Structure 1
Amino acid sequence: MTAATSTIEALLTAEQREAAQLQRTRGRARLEPAEAEALAALHDELPAGAIGADEVTRLLTRSLSRELEIPEYYRYTCMHVYGWFLDLFPDDPVAGALLALHTTLTDLAEIERAAWDTGRHPGAGDERIKRLEDVALAVRAIVVDPLLQVRIGDLVDRAAVDPVMGRRTALLAECTRFPRSDQHEEYVFLRSVQACENLFFLVRRLAVEVAATKEEFPARAATRLELAVACARLLGEVFGVLLTLTPAGFMTFRDYTGAASAVQSLNYHAMEISVYGFDPRKEQIFGSIGHLQVLNDPEVRNHQPLSAVLQETSDERLEASWHELDRALSKWRGAHYRFARTYLPPDKPASGGTDGAAYVKRFVKKDACVAGADPFGGLPLFSGFLYH
């Protein structure tokens, strides 16, 4: 039994452990109707403001709720658990999101090592583990408090010996480890998507902070923009982990993900608006997906993005970091397109009602984005972690 396993054994009730195991044994998509109904009832019969053990039950089972209207993408990715985790960091959600990112990556690394040690790994295990270890080290090295030189690694080490923080990170890992299938390769996909969601939030949050502080606190703005660059580069490194999947390995679970399309990601679209501005070509897409309709609101469309805020900056440090951020995000979009082109068979419909790689390709370049003029447009929407 690993340390993480023994921690969870102590944190969960017998009923909660059974609920978690039931969702993992065959994968959520293969639950029997009666099993899914029983798990949904565990959530829906508890009060919304449940605390203590009841709160944990709701975290474990929210994605199966019959009462809540939850888009498939959010049923799949369990972003509500990340939202819960970040609510515990009201004063510094950036540090909280980086800690959540590290927890997600190291949990995947544990799963990969266990599969490798027992000879159950389907392939590329050593390379995947190495890449995961490299990304985790890069996250640990990020400085979140330049004055006190506090790094994410310091927060990780504190969480390991702090009962409260240890409980929070253990629950974050436990309540988000739910693939749709019983295929090992799905874990790397699920965890990569969850890691990217944290990074989308981080880039957006930091972009908003930079825009708000560049005049009055230029040094802080420069530091936060450099952190945004680091987060954008991490997107590329996470994608490197994802690319250890083969197309055949991807297809072992792809059909089980159903309509859980990243097109539904609020964090991603909001990040792009905060950095580049509103893309009119997405108006119809936003309008057709209920929870994305808020992104068509006039105040969101009129948001002044970071690209416009820094367009004529005379601060060489800000200018250099802006170009690095734009370059890193552009590389990530290019990688996303190449993944879609390589891994999505042309004869299969794409999830989310799009035309797959062709859809992704249309938005690789940001020339069509329109910069709004209101520096407060879309706030406070753009400041928080978004999920539905």
Structure 2
Amino acid sequence: MPGPTAAAVQPKVDFGEPTTPYAAYAGIDTLHSLLQPRSKEPAENSFIVATQVMELLFGLLRHEWTAAQQAMRVDDLPAATAALRRGLGVQDVLVSSWDLLATMTPVEFSAFRPYLGEASGFQSYTYLHLEFLLGNKSERLLKLYAGSPRIHAELSETLNSPSLYDDAEGVLRRAGAEDWVSVYSDPAHRELALLGELLLDVAERVTRWRQRHLIAVKRAMGAKPGTGGSSGISWLSKAAEQDVFPEIWAARNVL
């Protein structure tokens, strides 16, 4: 005859608080309150959620790339590669985030586009931090945040600081390597070669994100001018064709 079984443990349901610890820890109530569509078009909800999710992921990616930079500056390659690998996971989710908008039709987008006014993704200061970290720097864009001293100061610091690639080059110089060709050619620089491959993983995912952005916009609005004064798909096409970390790509032509 089987012995008595332990009673199933039931989760706690009474915390004596107006909200659960889960909701309090993650700010769930605040998070859901931020979804406020301005039109009656159902697809606008997907557009807002996709935008907000990407903004959160931009911030997380900035955190990881900055951690990688700090580690490279003290030649801590294990910590640098760990941060870059965590960032790759963030980038993969960023690329997949476009699935939320991939099937939006021109009619759906046009139904709520007037409510955007001059709002445009290129105004995202979180994303601009990432572009500056990649070495794609433009002081002119700081004018967007002239009225926001904190954001302007943070962006100025990123603009005037070494890029992710600059810090990787610093690691190479201190290790006695001339360039990426010598890194890949010398077995003694195996750890640096792995760093180069991780940076190309980063670069490839940046390009994928830009390509998905281009296709999503092309599908939703064609070649019409973008909001906020951008040129739309022509500007996005140029960005998608731009190599990230071109020096590491160029090494492939010699090896």
Please, what TM-score do these two structures have when normalized by structure 2? 0.70
Question: Aligned to 2:162, which of 304, 309, 312?
Answer: 304
2:216 corresponds to: 339
1:171 aligns with 2:29: yes
1:203 aligns with 2:61: yes
Residue ranges of structure 2 left out of the alignment (5+ in a row): 1-16, 173-182, 184-188, 246-255
TM-superposition CA deviations, 1:117-138 (whole Å, max 9, x none): xxxxxxxxxxxxxxxxxxxxxx
Q: Distance in 2 between matches of 1:200 and 1:331?
A: 15
Question: Aligned to 2:131, which of 259, 269, 272?
Answer: 272
Contact 2:68 2:83 in 1 (8 A): yes
Paired residue type of 2:95: G
Question: Aligned to 2:231, which of 324, 348, 355?
Answer: 355
Q: Distance in 2 between matches of 1:166 and 1:295?
A: 30
1:238 aligns with 2:97: yes
Question: Aligned to 2:38, which of 180, 197, 205?
Answer: 180
TM-superposition CA deviations, 1:255-281 (whole Å, max 9, x none): 22222211211100101111x2243xx
TM-superposition CA deviations, 1:38-61 (whole Å, max 9, x none): xxxxxxxxxxxxxxxxxxxxxxxx
Higher RCO, 1 vs 2 (CA within 8 Å, ≥6 residues apart)? 2
1:286 aligns with 2:142: yes
Residue ranges of structure 1 left out of the alignment (5+ in a row): 1-9, 12-161, 370-388
| Number of corresponding residues | 207
Paired residue type of 1:287: K
Structure with max Cα Rg: 2
Q: Distance in 2 between matches of 1:209 and 1:244?
A: 36
Paired residue type of 1:286: L
1:189 aligns with 2:25: no
Q: CA deviation at 1:169?
A: 3.6
Alpha-carbon distance change, 289 to 350 in structure 1, aligned in 2, over 3 angstroms: farther
Contact 2:55 2:127 in 1 (8 A): yes
Q: Distance in 2 between matches of 1:288 and 1:185?
A: 28
Q: Distance in 2 between matches of 1:354 and 1:368?
A: 22
Alpha-carbon distance change, 346 to 364 in structure 1, aligned in 2, over 3 angstroms: closer
2:13 corresponds to: none
Q: Distance in 2 between matches of 1:325 and 1:170?
A: 31
Please, what TM-score do these two structures have when normalized by structure 1? 0.48
Contact 1:286 1:295 in 2 (8 A): no
Paired residue type of 2:125: L
Deviates further, 179-188 or 283-292: 283-292
Contact 1:260 1:351 in 2 (8 A): yes
SS of structure 2 residue aligned to 1:341: helix
1:324 corresponds to: 201
SS of structure 1 residue aligned to 2:240: coil
Question: Aligned to 1:256, which of 91, 115, 127?
Answer: 115
Q: CA deviation at 1:345?
A: 4.3
Alpha-carbon distance change, 289 to 163 in structure 1, aligned in 2, over 3 angstroms: closer
Alpha-carbon distance change, 322 to 346 in structure 1, aligned in 2, over 3 angstroms: closer
Contact 1:273 1:305 in 2 (8 A): yes
Q: Distance in 2 between matches of 1:173 and 1:310?
A: 36
SS of structure 2 residue aligned to 1:252: helix
Matches within 5 A, 1:121-160: none
Matches within 5 A, 1:15-26: none
Paired residue type of 1:164: P
